[in-house]
Structure 1
Amino acid sequence: MRMHRSTGTVHACVWIDKGRQRTYDEGVTATALTDRWVAVARAIAQINQSAERALAESHGLCASAFEIMDVMAREDGWIRAGELSSRATRSQPQVSRLLAQMVSAGYAERRPCATDRRGFDVQLTPAGRELFSQSVATMETVLREVAESSAEVRDAMGLNATDQ
């Protein structure tokens, strides 16, 4: 049930199949593309919930830290902190906070940028690379388990049952 904003009238949401479109109250239509987006969003939420739990329990990491470590590991050397922020799907303040924690824990190191005194470069330490390597194995396990348990996740990831 939903109340119409301008009239205050209460309407029930009704789905009517019309080929590839779905129409519900007030004539709003959703295409297969919208349906697919909803399925992907649900799959991502399932994966993130499982990943957060497994990374925290096994390695003391959050998914954001894993993603930042992934960007640094792919760089295989020093990377500007600003560049790291733009490659990760996290905000610059969140990246800065997590980098400070990683440096404090000995998983990353930082140095002043040689070309810009305002910035700094970062890279994973050997301990950080080892932690990242272990956490990748955990993520692979999580992704397989979630995909095995959910056809919606398999579809969103573009996997068939045999791809796992």
Structure 2
Amino acid sequence: MDEQDRAFEALSQWKTTIRPIEQLNARIESELSLRHSLCISGYEVLYLLASRRGKTPLTEICKHIDRSQPRVSRLIGQLEERGMVDRYRTASDGRAYQLAITRKGRRALQASASTLLGILSEEDAPARHLTAERLSALWQTLSSPATVQTEQGQAGEA
């Protein structure tokens, strides 16, 4: 088996491994949207705000949910339009915002938590098929002697 064959095999194994996760993620996104007008990131924002007392700086939210500031700002705008969060300008910097969850946001968070747990605990959830054996096969392909030698040869050429 040459390098291209091994690369194709590794890619095929990787796609087989992540496909159930992608399917589960798409289902979660769909159900949260249909039932609660939320996306996964919106759930994360509401959870973060609910877990804190008082107002939370926008920069703190970006850090904790690992999204860019422009993306989080758009999301906050949507949550604010739906009445799930309140946005306040900071006194020290007129450009910066602090956020707080509203009662409506808390209700949406609670309801969406039940939806999430229901989906993730289903017996036939696609990610249940993600096994240690699949991951092991993928890592075996990636760490086969020929792959390791090729990587070492490329490192020596650099």
* Fold match by TM threshold 0.5: yes
Residue 125 of structure 1: aligned partner: 102
Structure 1: unaligned runs, 5 residues or longer? 1-15, 17-22, 156-164
TM-score by length of 2: 0.67
| Counterpart residue identity of residue 48, structure 2 | V
Matched, 1:65 2:48: no
2:84 to 78, 95, 107: 107
Taking only the aligned residue pairs, the percentage that are identical comes to: 27
Between the aligned partners of 2:22 and 2:9, the Cα distance in structure 1 is 21
Residue 73 of structure 2: aligned partner: 96
Encode CA deviations 1:71-118: one digit per residue, 9 max, x unaligned. 222224311011111211322112111111211221100111134332
1:74 to 41, 51, 54: 51
From the two aligned structures, give the one with the greater strand fraction: 1
TM-score by length of 1: 0.65
| Counterpart residue identity of residue 65, structure 1 | G
SS of structure 2 residue aligned to 1:90: coil
Q: How many residues align?
A: 130
Structure 2: unaligned runs, 5 residues or longer? 133-158
Residue 13 of structure 1: aligned partner: none
Encode CA deviations 1:28-82: one digit per residue, 9 max, x unaligned. 5999xxx67973x334312211101111121122222122212222224311011
SS of structure 2 residue aligned to 1:117: coil
1:152 to 106, 117, 129: 129
Task: Give the structure, 1 or 2, with the largest relative contact order (CA under 8 Å, sep 6 or more).
Answer: 2
Between the aligned partners of 1:38 and 1:54, the Cα distance in structure 2 is 24
Residue 137 of structure 1: aligned partner: 114
Residue 56 of structure 1: aligned partner: 33
From the two aligned structures, give the one with the greater helix fraction: 2
Encode CA deviations 1:135-162: one digit per residue, 9 max, x unaligned. 01101011112x534433476xxxxxxx
SS of structure 2 residue aligned to 1:111: strand
Contact 2:57/2:99 (<8 A) preserved: yes
Matched, 1:25 2:4: yes
